[in-house]
Structure 1
Amino acid sequence: MAPNDATAGNHNSLREKVVVVTGASGGVGRAVVRELGAQGAKVALVARGTTGLGAAAVDVGAAGGQARVFEADLAHYEQVRQAAERIEAEMGPIDVWINVAFSSVFAKFQDIEPEEFERTTKVTYLGYVWGTKVALDLMRSRNRGTIVQAGSALTYRAIPLQSAYCGAKHAIKGFTESVRVELMSEGSGIEITTVQLPAVNTPQFDWVRSKLRGRPQPVPPIYQPEVAARAIVFAAAHPERKEYWVGITTALTILANRVAPALLDRYLARTGVKSQQAEQGKQPDTVDRGSGNLWEPKDEWNDYGAHGAFDDRAHGRSPQVWLSQHRMQALLAGAGVAATAVLARTLRRRSR
């Protein structure tokens, strides 16, 4: 299998399956539903924003799948539960639930208001909790199903200016690990897995709430949302693994944080604030650029799609994804290369 083809050999595995995607109207979620459409899935689109959801449904149909729209604010359990019940009534039993929805505030912690921090936590953390809960409630009677959490390298390594988001991602990790072990202890047929993502070129940098002097930007290297989408859909079809890593920076960040966290602290203290901002200007330390999508959807009237403003800097492929998905083959290949090198060195010595 070619390293760049993350879904080869897996094209029909989700065909006709009912798959729920939260945050489906834009960004990574939008790219995920397109990928699911290409695989012939029945996709339930859950998010706020009428225009974005409608356009996402058109995308799924154009790609070859079926889609229905279910508006819900993921911060509210009852809305999520009611959406899930409607999905099962209209589309059939849910096979896969993919949590992607989030919101955030770009600002120093001291500049974030309590209600802003609370709202970010409700959407980005509790949204995953509520989605997981309603999915499990429906899947338990059938003793089958898959839940996929879209994570981030920031799950392991927090960075400045994103305290609310990083806190939520760390919380998702702890929550998901607890639920996974509970399912294992029960001998459940339901599986849960996480896909840790790198910096992705999505509209989030234009629509999240920001109080920065410069325009928010992802920390390079940046990947296109389709890279993340292929990895998430692969995980949905292969949930036996606890976790997948997308992008070399995700792998290096997680590994470096394990061996040298203090060094990363010092590095981020020097570079983390500046690297997340573009178009710096002589402005006050705190600039309010509007509420973004924190309280209301930005795509209520406009469709933002999957891509952000960084197409010219974003990578459309990640060979590292293949390594994450095929660790045994990678280890065997590495062992083969090492053995060949040793044999060649031995033969050279004997020929002297």
Structure 2
Amino acid sequence: MKIGPDTVAVVTGASAGVGRAIAQEFARRGASVALLAREPQRLEQARAEMLRLGARQAIAIACDVAHEDQVEAAADRAERELGPIDVWINNAMVTIVAPVKQIEPEEFRRVTEVSYHGTVWGSLAALKRMRPRNRGSIVQVGSALAYRSIPLQAPYCGAKHAVRGFTESLRTELIYENSAIHLGMVELPAVNTPQFEWCRTRMSGHPKPLGTIYQPEVPARAVLQTVETGRRETYVAFSSAMAIWGDKLAPGLMDHYLAHKAYDGQQMDEPLAADRKDNLFDPVPGDFSAHGRFDAEASPHSTSQRMNLHLPWLLPCAAGLLALTLVAAGTAAGVRRR
């Protein structure tokens, strides 16, 4: 599917972070964009930005994707004001950074309702409109954590695993129906977004991304490439592919590595502000956009992602080979110690 002025796209979680960056990419192509998120003022700022960037039309729809009736109403409005929906991007998410023993049941439930059920409701709303036309593209913004869970984010990791399971099941049903609707998933690495300013946490240090950090434009471009090429799944950056293939080949080794690295790796030395607010149940107001505070550390490009566009087999093969080499080296070291 070629994205251009005739394209109508819906993006959830579009007021900041990766969702805002995805909407910007559609706007630069001249598409019409419906922006869904919870915070009305920031949504309106995003809408004005899309028009400045070249969007044919842009509308802001205040919507909590955890509620299927709100998602359905948003889809109705998008089609009424912009026209038939061609692309639906499920990106909205929330998380909490804390050990499982410190997470309350309502917090587990909320992360699941937004990060998993929100994707389900968005997919169903899109399919309701795309099926009669037998065309369109739905893309789930996933994560390497959909394959390889890490400590301190059990609800979010569980939700992303569920999104992958739901997507694979739905894809088989679309194939059975001989549907021409594209269903893709994009697995993200660590990204420099404002979520680290507002995610709920019970740790002492300020949250930060784990691993190599990329600017949100990197996954945003991958989402557009996935739509335009009809890709089934895209691993964004080599770090995502390494995490995924490392888990496939040596899950036990990954367990121990992350147990020792991911606690401190998700925290800065900077303590939390006493008046810090989080967005788990209510949006945090403020003039946030696509980028977070980690611009100095974040890469604006991914060489492996550019190669992956033209040689889609190369990134997973290279990551798998490297992971296998590391497993072999670890096994050999263990044998020598014995």
- Equivalenced residues, count: 315
In the TM superposition, what is the alpha-carbon distance from 1:266 to its structure 2 partner?
0.6
Q: Give, in whole Å, the separation in 2 of the partners of 1:89 and 1:321.
A: 36
Aligned counterpart in structure 2 of residue 67 of structure 1, from 45, 58, 68: 58
Cα root mean square deviation, aligned: 1.9
> Partner of 2:37 in structure 1?
47
Q: Give, in whole Å, the separation in 2 of the partners of 1:288 and 1:250.
A: 34
Residue correspondence of structure 1 range 59-208 to structure 2 within 5 A = 59-65=49-55, 66-208=57-199
Greater relative CO (CA pairs within 8 A, separation 6+):
1
Are residue 318 (structure 1) and residue 302 (structure 2) matched?
yes
Runs of 4+ in 1 over 3 A off after TM superposition: 287-291, 328-331
Secondary structure at 1:278 match in 2? strand
Aligned counterpart in structure 2 of residue 269 of structure 1, from 256, 259, 275: 259
| Greater C-alpha radius of gyration | 1
Q: Give, in whole Å, the separation in 1 of the partners of 2:274 and 2:116.
A: 24
Secondary structure at 2:191 match in 1? coil
Q: Give, in whole Å, the separation in 1 of the partners of 2:186 and 2:308.
A: 10
Q: Give, in whole Å, the separation in 2 of the partners of 1:324 and 1:153.
A: 16
| 1:179 maps to amino acid | L
Secondary structure at 1:189 match in 2? coil
Q: Give, in whole Å, the separation in 2 of the partners of 1:171 and 1:324.
A: 25
* Cα contact 1:145–1:191 (8 A) shared by 2: yes
In the TM superposition, what is the alpha-carbon distance from 1:166 to its structure 2 partner?
0.2
Would the alpha carbon gap of residues 328 and 232 (structure 1) be closer, same or farther in structure 2, given more than 3 Å must change? closer
> Partner of 2:323 in structure 1?
none
> Partner of 1:338 in structure 2?
none
Give % identity: 47
> Partner of 1:340 in structure 2?
none
Q: Give, in whole Å, the separation in 2 of the partners of 1:189 and 1:41.
A: 21
Aligned counterpart in structure 1 of residue 203 of structure 2, from 179, 193, 212: 212
Aligned counterpart in structure 2 of residue 293 of structure 1, from 270, 279, 283: 279
* Cα contact 1:209–1:290 (8 A) shared by 2: no
> Partner of 1:253 in structure 2?
243
Residue correspondence of structure 1 range 17-28 to structure 2 within 5 A = 17-28=7-18
Are residue 304 (structure 1) and residue 294 (structure 2) matched?
no
Would the alpha carbon gap of residues 314 and 85 (structure 1) be closer, same or farther in structure 2, given more than 3 Å must change? same
Q: Give, in whole Å, the separation in 2 of the partners of 1:243 and 1:15.
A: 25
| 1:172 maps to amino acid | V
Would the alpha carbon gap of residues 182 and 264 (structure 1) be closer, same or farther in structure 2, given more than 3 Å must change? same
Q: Deviations over 1:123-175 (max 9, x none)?
A: 00000000001100111111111000001010100000000100000000000
